[in-house]
Amino acid sequence: MHKRFLIFSFILLACLFLGDCLYAQEVIPSSPSIEQLAPTPTILEELTAITAFALLPFAIMLLTSYIKIVIVLSLLRNALGIQQSPPNQVISGIALLMTIYVMFPTMVAMYRAGENQIKDRAPTNLFSAESAQYTVDVINVTKEPMRDFLQRNTTAKHMGGFYQLAQRSIPEEFRGGLKPNDFIILIPAFITSQLKAAFEIGVLIYLPFFVIDLVTSNILLAMGMMMLSPLTIALPLKLLLIVMVDGWTLIIQGLVLSFR
């Protein structure tokens, strides 16, 4: 019992003497880091940036040559009668590569138009009001080459139709400054023009393969081989035709040269 009392007294005295040293120590404030000094983005700024990144793939598909190329290649595959070869990933990859090939001069012109704006005022924080304003300024500087590309590849009939539609649907106070080459008119007119051109090419692609299917069906019917599927005979003939004329290369080259 006496030994326990001595141990307890020793611990109590040690705590009393060491307590002054422990509580007397100053807490040195740490210097703020770069992340702490940077302004915290608001929810609205983050939502704006996320929305812009989400809409970027749709802009690439609808404002470039991608839509026309991918539709024509898909129609060619369907005309051959083979639904899974080449697969969708291959067709999308070819269309994307050819889109880069077609859009490269326009992209270079856009970069040269906004080169100073892009280099001089690059923001340090992606999710910020400064970044949003920087994006708007870059778009305003670089939009003219894109406008020229859309206008060159849009039919006047479609532009006139959407201009009349805008005159009826847009509020009256905004109609005075409306022009046929404004993006609100030019973008839908470009999309419909590309759709029309793609399906016109699709009709020309389907015609020779339709003739092969028709002739094959009539021959089998005349020979009394009604149980044999015409596709069994027509498919090798279609593949032979597309290989002999190098059809994929001709169509891809024709699609690239069809853009002005």
Q: What is the pLDDT of residues 175-200, one digit of tens each?
A: 777 887 888 889 999 999 999 999 99
- The one-letter amino acid at 89: Q
Residue 210 lies in a domain: yes
Residue 30 lies in a domain: no
Residue 11 lies in a domain: no
pLDDT digits (tens, 9 = 90+) for 151-172: 999 998 998 888 888 888 877 7
Residue 17 lies in a domain: no
Q: CA dihedral in degrees (75, 78, 80, 84; nearest 10)?
A: 120
- In the predicted model, what is the mean pLDDT of residues 21-30? 46
DSSP H or E stretch at residue 96: helix 88-113
How many helices, marked H, and strands, marked E, lie in the chain? 11, 0
CA distances from 113 to 4, 11, 64, 107 (A): 87, 78, 19, 10
Structural domain harbouring 234:
42-257
Residue 132 lies in a domain: yes
Residue 162 lies in a domain: yes
Does residue 259 surpass a pLDDT of 80? yes
Sign, CA torsion 14/19/24/25: positive
Residue 64 lies in a domain: yes
Helices 230-244 and 183-222 cross at an angle (nearest 10°) of 120
